[in-house]
Amino acid sequence: MDRVLAKRIAPLNTSLPLQLRDRRAGRRSEGTEWAQGLPYWSRPVTFSMARDLRIARRAEHRVALWTICLLSACLVLEAGTLASTFSHRAELRAAASAPPLPGEAAPNDAPRRTIVNLRLAALVGTGIIWLVWLRRAYRNLALVGSKRSRFTTRQAVGYWFIPLVNLVRAYQVMKDLWLRSESMNDRDAYDDLPAPPLLSGWWGMSLAWGVLEPVVAATARSARTALELTNVTDVALVGSVVGIVAMVLAIRVVRGIDQRQQCFSANPPDLPAPSAAARHHGTQAPRSVPPSDRPIVRAPPDQKERRV
């Protein structure tokens, strides 16, 4: 019994390496305690941080590819809607100039309705994947640079569901994501910086497209004559052209942010490469930082520092 109790209360084996002892005991190793007082850009980067960043980059890139594919599908369907609207407009003009004979069949509108339904389903699916991609991309900002962002991940996604607020906040989220991804999140003051023209153009086209769609739907319900239906198709043509431009710009926005986030690195640019000893112990520390087991005694300016 005494031997069992002695084994349970025995101290740690001091013959083990320091890193292994601290890992088993669940404490921080003394080799990284020197970094607690350093600013965030001078702290060491561990292999776990680099691995997490690599996994996060791959996950964001995978969802970004899916988002681009769905946006491309929406682009094709929007082009199909534009072509069917042109055909429908020609049929309306022909019907206005020469009414159909009693035995002549009315034009078939089934293909146009099928394209509209597919387009609606593609837009809903693209919106869901867009928010998934946005969540992953915005969360990656916490792994580089200052590790800060203007909004939380929940706010970055939740603002898109709040009416009227999403007209401003959603654009600010995308602007913050673009600027921080472009500079690897190396500062905090991004609010006063101008947004890139690509992002502003995409947001303006998206808002214009969102305004034209309900206008077309409302006027189509009240149109009765051939002339009114022709005017509705004219507005629908303009809406389809604006939607195509908005889709192309959205693809470029997703691709631009994804390319910038693929350049994220766990090593800040102002730090040198880690030494072999740091890589062996699993901690990437700057070579210019002295080891912590031998403190430095500061000497007067006319003398050199010495270790004790």
pLDDT at 108: 55
Of the candidates 307, 286, 295, 274, the residue with the CA atom closest to the CA atom of residue 30: 295
pLDDT, one tens digit per residue, over 29-49 is 444 443 444 444 444 445 576
Mean pLDDT of the chain: 75
Which residue did the predictor score with more confidence, 186 or 104? 186
For residue 139, pLDDT over 90 is answered with: yes
Contact present, 275 and 287 (Cβ < 8 Å) = yes
Pairing state between β 306-307 and 296-297: antiparallel
CA distance 186 to 148: 9
Least confident of 10-19, 141-150, 182-191, 280-289: 280-289
What pLDDT was estimated at residue 224? 77
Q: How far apart are CA 144 and CA 186, in angstroms?
A: 8
Check residue 307 and report its DSSP letter: E
pLDDT band (50, 70, 90) for residue 3? low
Domain residue limits, the chain:
45-97+110-261
Distance CA(111)–CA(232), nearest Å, equals: 19
Q: How far is CA 59 from CA 85, 91, 136, 137, 256, in A?
A: 39, 48, 7, 9, 16
| Averaged pLDDT for residues 281-301 | 45
User: With bands split at pLDDT 50, 70 and 90, how would you rate the model's confidence at 221?
Assistant: confident
Indicate if the pLDDT at residue 173 is higher than 70: yes
Q: Which residues contact 173 (CB under 8 A, 6 or more apart)?
A: 134, 138, 151, 155, 156, 159
pLDDT at 1 (0 to 100):
53
More confident residue, 92 or 148: 148
Provide mean pLDDT across the span 133-151.
Answer: 91
Q: How confident is the model at residue 300 (pLDDT cuts 50, 70, 90)?
A: low
- 208 Cβ contact partners less than 8 Å away, ≥ 6 residues apart: 242, 246
Q: What tokens appear for 148 in the block?
A: 């800060």
Q: Which helix (H) or strand (E) holds 129?
A: helix 110-139
Q: How far apart are CA 130 and CA 24, in angstroms?
A: 43
pLDDT of residue 99: 58
- Taking 3-state DSSP, the helix, strand and coil percentages for the chain, each rounded to the nearest 5, stand at 65, 5, 35
In terms of C-beta density within 10 A (0-12 exposed, 13-18 middle, 19 or more buried), how is residue 76 classed? middle
- List pLDDT tens digits, range 67-114: 999 999 999 999 988 888 888 788 777 766 665 545 444 455 677 778
Q: Which residue has the higher pLDDT, 257 or 273?
A: 257
Distance of alpha carbon 99 from alpha carbon 226, whole angstroms: 10
Q: pLDDT band for position 190 (50/70/90)?
A: confident
149 exposure class (CB count in 10 Å sphere: 0-12, 13-18, 19+): buried
> Percentage of the chain with pLDDT > 90?
39
Q: Which residue has the higher pLDDT, 221 or 206?
A: 206
Greatest mean pLDDT among 29-38, 90-99, 184-193, 197-206 lies in: 197-206
pLDDT value, residue 170? 95
**Residue 183 region, left (φ>0) first, then alpha (ψ -120 to 50), else beta?**
alpha
